[in-house]
Amino acid sequence: MRSMVVLLMITGIAPMEMAMAQARGGGRGRGPGVVQNMTLITTAWPDGGMIPARYTQEGAEISPMIQWSSPPAGTVSFVLTFVDADTVVNNSTDGLLHWMVWNIPATATSIAQARPDGFELPDGMRQISVSGSRYRGPGAPAAGPLHHYIFELYALDTAIDVKVSPQGPQQPNPNVQAIRTQIMQAMAGHIRAKAAYVGLFHRSQ
């Protein structure tokens, strides 16, 4: 419950706001148009608590195990995001993207700890972050306040089959922000349930 209160107090992600607004109004999805609540947890830290160093840039920077339950009937896929809500991108309202995982099948109930590097993994899930093809751990500077890092999970009534491809031979890295926007736009009107989980962090020195 604390995570949802914190989430409402923080400036959201612009494409995400659009997706959520359309979902609340029924959107284009096949479902009833009501966004239900799911349960999202990690045993790595308590909801609203401090993120241990091993999951951050001060430590091994491994991704935590994520588990969820209570998706609605008709769920086709999931999308997971992990965002620093206190760092915006390019003077926008977009929080810094530390992880985005999509093409998660409806049968999945978790993402294992320490996901390997790679835009597309053998299990079919895809991932990006501002670090490229891997989870990016929290790294807020010690000189400033604690940052809010928010996991959000979305149950969709459609598949999001966006692929990661280079911009060209001279720019081998993908445009992460463009891919993020493409995924969020594809989600609009198809969100049937959501969940959030918050962690706090800044460097010790």
Which amino acid appears at position 167 of this protein? Q
pLDDT at 92: 66
pLDDT digits (tens, 9 = 90+) for 64-96: 999 999 999 999 999 999 999 999 877 667 899
Candidates 183, 201, 6; CA nearest to 77 is 183
Number of compact structural domains in the chain: 1
Percent of the chain residues past pLDDT 90, beyond the cut? 69
Q: From residue 6, give the alpha-carbon distance in Å to each of 53, 143, 153, 196.
A: 22, 22, 16, 10
- Tokens describing residue 126: 């895809």
pTM of the model: 0.84
pLDDT at 173: 65
- Tokens describing residue 192: 């049937």
Q: What is the mean pLDDT of the chain?
A: 84
pLDDT at 8: 40
CA 37-94-103 angle, to 5 degrees, is 55
Greatest Cα pair distance, the chain, in angstroms, is 50
CATH assignment of the domain containing 145? 3.90.280.10
Q: From residue 58, give the alpha-carbon distance in Å to each of 41, 54, 62, 137, 203.
A: 23, 7, 11, 8, 7
pLDDT digits (tens, 9 = 90+) for 20-68: 344 333 334 444 568 999 999 999 999 999 999 999 999 999 999 999 9
Domain of residue 178: give its range: 2-201
Q: Report the sign of the C-alpha dihedral through residues 144, 2, 9, 91, in that order.
A: positive
Burial of 156 (0-12, 13-18, 19+ CB in 10 A): buried
Question: Beta 77-88 vs 110-111: how paired, if at all?
Answer: unpaired
- Tokens describing residue 27: 């959107």
